[in-house]
Structure 1
């Protein structure tokens, strides 16, 4: 029956005199059902024209209708058959990705869901969303598993609005979301500094009678620990215990980090004895927290001893361990040992992340060792990591002030030409590199290019922009960004947001505003870190000195 329909449509559209292809397309789309196998033909004008010209008064054989091959990249393989034409889907203005497989068969409901799940798990988010739109165009909807994986995949790449939209669509169709979907939204909202929306997720979870799992509590725990909220962290741990979830290495590592960030590093290290007393063995997470605690307070020797003990117990250091040691050795001026560790890490097969590379080259830049920066960058690229090496080359150029990538457009285009996948993390790293140099306009341009790629701004990226203005001493622009963060993320997630604003006013010599910012930080529930306390003391000393000078000059 379908073959007869195909014959009647094509014969009806073969005119005695040539007609405009647009008219033929419109009439065929009107006559054919959207789920017909002929949908493949009307996806490409050149193929339609070739089929019509060859068909004349003969119908198309069934095999030609069924086996319309399209590749997943969107290239129409039918055009390779006589009469040949080199038509590419990307150059065809009327091309729509067909609803079918490479062998020409339509995707069934099960195949659609399997393909969506496969794409989500492999990180092909755009392809999965495209397949979702095709499925909905056919009047069908994904199953619960596909919806959950779509939400997870979107959340992992920071596309919070789309993840929330998919979640709302899923619930409107009567699906009962699993706790995994709620956890994804909860993590997304907290990462973007939207605790109000995160609270609504938890309320919805409770209203539906869905029990929170360990992951839910760990997301909340990580949020409070990063915000340095000691009391809230212990409340979450107490609730975990009531629900039967005993603290694990993740929980203990966060508690150690929290004590460390609040200046109670000796109490942080004493928790190790408590862990051993409970019969728990120290794993990599806890060792990493202890090493970072010692490093932060300048006990580098103790940190190295713990590092050696860790290896003797058969626990291999990971990238977090090396990053901590390298970062703090640089922080305390021991760049030579930091470079040795940097090399040792690579010899053990671990590839350094850009943040640590930034730490090393920024310290080398302060010392004017431009040749070492260039040599370090080249050594990384020669180890066979070509695409990632391109990122390091760009960073080395920015910090080394060689001038090649002082414009953000050139920088991003260079990375694209090297085949680097521009993720949210990559944009943030490049923006941070410009921000640390005080290049505000270039930082803004990077963030604009990121938004053009469909990546949403989050709280971390706004902090990067705030840091750019603060480094340049442009306190009014910094205050504007701060107010935007305060309006969209209440309460603020990180105390570093306040610290960065304090830095902007100090560099602009507006010392009288620094104490009020410090008080607002405390009022927001954020524990001031050591850097904030030092800036407050510096500002108060200057204000006191000015007051004494004023009194001495007063008759």
Structure 2
């Protein structure tokens, strides 16, 4: 009898001829447990027996492949499904769109929309929100407003996700006062402010140095009975740290842990880089000991590794040693962990180590996405190796990935560091022609480059 326990993979006797129904169950079980390669192998066995995979098999595989970043394989499975005459549903198509956009593959995402139209599959609210999230993140103002208008025409209710993204859109383009005005409009429309919107407001105030207002909003949301989440705490800690209020940042970090929140590794980099530059290693070590005493063993391990990368402990020799140390502590390696490690190396211009992290990541079966490639550009730029940074940019283009605002600003910074000022206006024009709306940082770097060219 097969074992149908909820937390175990279904296994069947070797050599037993299985039915399509049993193969479907096995593929589903493998996908749920994250054994995507086994699920793909199971599909091949099914086809070798002359059995035709059903919609359920393809649906499980496509979504599982997208979840682990193997979007091109997911697309191949999808094309096979279409070839066999199976009609896609909106859930599969949304999974593909999300997977493509996570990699910055906008053209493939738009192609999937055309497939929706060809098969008469109606876009739902999730479809619009996936694109809205991508366009806002990429700084594509015109495309963002086009999506918003289409959502209104379709009659979709504009929820907190929509409003928070609009606030972030204004914030990232330097119009933070307009972003706050949106909050008043939300209230007039009878929409209740939820945690997502509050987080956007706090982050907006924090980014523009209005920290007292950010703390006031933080207090207000709690009075309203809304419990802050890890994003709320991270935002307050990050902006206080970057503004130079390090003791307040550490106080917030302690209070966050008092509330039972598991510290986010991303915030470690902000704290370590800021306090490390000031030579406040004693504060960092003291905080590390407090974390260990609280029983945060895994986060403490990540914290120790990041401290080591910044040159304080000297326990590890390189990326492989750091990753091995995390494995020993039972920490599951994910795209997020690799991103944190590579960013720590990149901030110090340690290019070879950053590349090594990416290589280890690929060896683990996790494909580098646009975020990771942007980190690599930043690493080369910080090391004064602008040609290598530019080659990564070309790799992004050749891979069919659409660069975002971070790509362009990181590359512009690399050229400014190398005193290649004439390249900056060209990049700025490329950014605008690609549909990305330059943010405040990009505009400031353009002015810096133009002023330098006038003085030459």
With the length of structure 1 as denominator, give the TM-score of the two structures: 0.77
Q: Counterpart of 1:392?
A: 303
Give a deviation string over 1:174-223, Cα, whole Å, max 9, x none: 22111111111111111111111112111111011110011000011111
Does structure 1 residue 532 correspond to structure 2 residue 442? yes
1:510 to 420, 433, 455: 420
Does structure 1 residue 435 correspond to structure 2 residue 309? no
CA distance in 2, matches of 1:376, 1:190: 38
Does structure 1 residue 413 correspond to structure 2 residue 324? yes
With the length of structure 2 as denominator, give the TM-score of the two structures: 0.92
Give a deviation string over 1:483-510, Cα, whole Å, max 9, x none: 2223334642x21111111111121122
- Greater displacement, 152-161 / 130-139: 130-139
**1:334 CA drift (Å):** 1.1
Q: Counterpart of 1:348?
A: 259
- Greater displacement, 179-188 / 147-156: 147-156
CA distance in 2, matches of 1:351, 1:148: 34
The 3 A distance-change label for structure 1 pair 420 and 141 is farther
Q: Return the index of the structure with the highest Cα Rg.
A: 1
- Give the conservation status (yes or no) of the 8 Å contact 1:424–1:455: yes
Q: Counterpart of 1:480?
A: 391
**1:272 CA drift (Å):** 1.2
The 3 A distance-change label for structure 1 pair 414 and 202 is same
CA distance in 1, matches of 2:53, 2:299: 36
CA distance in 2, matches of 1:417, 1:174: 48
- Greater displacement, 169-178 / 370-379: 370-379
CA distance in 1, matches of 2:41, 2:242: 46
**1:408 CA drift (Å):** 1.5
Does structure 1 residue 208 correspond to structure 2 residue 119? yes
SS at match of 1:279: coil
**1:126 CA drift (Å):** 3.9
2:86 to 163, 167, 175: 175
CA distance in 2, matches of 1:73, 1:280: 43
SS at match of 1:511: coil
**1:328 CA drift (Å):** 1.0
Does structure 1 residue 523 correspond to structure 2 residue 450? no
Does structure 1 residue 268 correspond to structure 2 residue 179? yes
CA distance in 2, matches of 1:351, 1:359: 16
CA distance in 2, matches of 1:112, 1:152: 17
Q: Counterpart of 1:93?
A: none
SS at match of 1:280: coil
Q: Counterpart of 1:100?
A: 13
1:227 to 138, 152, 155: 138
CA distance in 1, matches of 2:159, 2:451: 45
Q: How many correspondences in the alignment?
A: 452
Q: Counterpart of 2:156?
A: 245
Q: Which protein has greater RCO, CA pairs closer than 8 Å, 6+ apart? A: 2
- Give the conservation status (yes or no) of the 8 Å contact 1:99–1:134: no
Q: Structure 2: state its 5+ residue gaps.
A: none
- Give the conservation status (yes or no) of the 8 Å contact 1:511–1:539: yes
- Greater displacement, 501-510 / 468-477: 501-510
Q: Counterpart of 1:300?
A: 211
